[in-house]
Amino acid sequence: MNDYFSLAGRTALVTGGSRGIGEMIAEGFLRAGAKVYVSARKASACEETAQRLSGLGTCIPLPADVSGAVGARAMAERYLKHESTLDILVNNAGAAWGEAFETFPETGWDKVMELNVKTPFFLTQALHGALRAAATRDRPAKVINIASIDGVSVSHQETYSYGASKAGLIHLTKRMALRLIEDHIVVNAIAPGAFASNMNKVARDHADEVSKIIPSGRIGTPEDMAGSAIYLASRAGDYVVGGTLVVDGGMAWRR
């Protein structure tokens, strides 16, 4: 059974890996035996997280702003100075913007779309060669896009570009999966619900209140997120292609 979920001998890159869901995934991968690179826009936070997680295994910081095609390609270049192959890419870096319909700005649209949709595509494109070099039919490389339940069902919050970006990422995951499986690269997505993070401060600061509206009665834990990502990244998830794993305690279905 351990072989199904082991990541021993594999190398992973997790964008937005210094905190929140990215850090949960990075920690899980390290516990499963992977060598993990974590990327984040703030160098100090990236380096602090990598140092803290290094007690679990090899964790290397790669601080960078991965926004858009230019940022994605620069991130890939930084990674390729360290490694020639990549087993697992987690496109987790993301942004959100909430504002009333009447005043919602173009900047709030472009910033979110740039990071949430454009970056996953162009970073995967830039690292395609490294993923392909690591991949075989019997041990494919993996790409995991971190979407949201806001891309599955409609939130009551006025986060227009965020919901649209995550729905777009889910569809992009399907299209990328269809192409990249030809190269033995498996692409899937995770749609998280309420997890405590700087992006979801409501879940972080008011977990008891949020838990009351979640069918399972609680917010997500680091183990919930890490376990889901390990499943998709490991042998256990090799035959899941183009799927979106909803990890939200049932919240998407009661909206």
Q: What is the pLDDT of residues 166-208, one digit of tens each?
A: 999 999 999 999 999 999 999 999 999 988 876 666 766 667 7
Nearest CA among 204, 183, 186, 185 for reference residue 195: 204
What would the pLDDT profile of 6-29 be if each residue is shown by its tens digit? 999 999 999 999 999 999 999 999
High-pLDDT (> 90) share of the chain, %: 87
For residues 142 and 85, what is the distance between their CA atoms, to the nearest angstrom?
A: 12
Report, as an integer, the average pLDDT of 80-89.
Answer: 98
Query: What number of other Cβ atoms are within 10 A of residue 181's Cβ?
Result: 15
For residue 71, give the H/E element and its range: helix 68-80
Domain limits at 100? Answer: 2-253
Structural Rg of the chain based on CA atoms: 17
State yes or no: is 79 an active-site residue: no
Count how many domains the chain has: 1
What is the per-residue pLDDT for 156?
87
Percent of the chain with pLDDT over 70: 96
Instruction: Calculate mean pLDDT across residues 103-111.
Output: 96
Q: What is the pLDDT of the chain when averaged over all its residues?
A: 94
Looking at 4, 162, 231, 239, which residue is catalytic?
A: 162
Mean pLDDT of 51-76: 97
Residue with tokens 């997500």: 220
Q: Where residue 241 sits, what CATH number does that domain have?
A: 3.40.50.720
What are the tokens at 166? 């995550």
Position 204 scores a pLDDT of: 65
Is residue 48 a contact partner of residue 114, using CB atoms and an 8 Å limit?
A: no
Neighbour-count burial of 133, counting CB atoms closer than 10 A to its CB (0-12 exposed, 13-18 middle, 19+ buried): middle
What CA–CA distance (Å, rounded) separates 208 from 223? Answer: 18
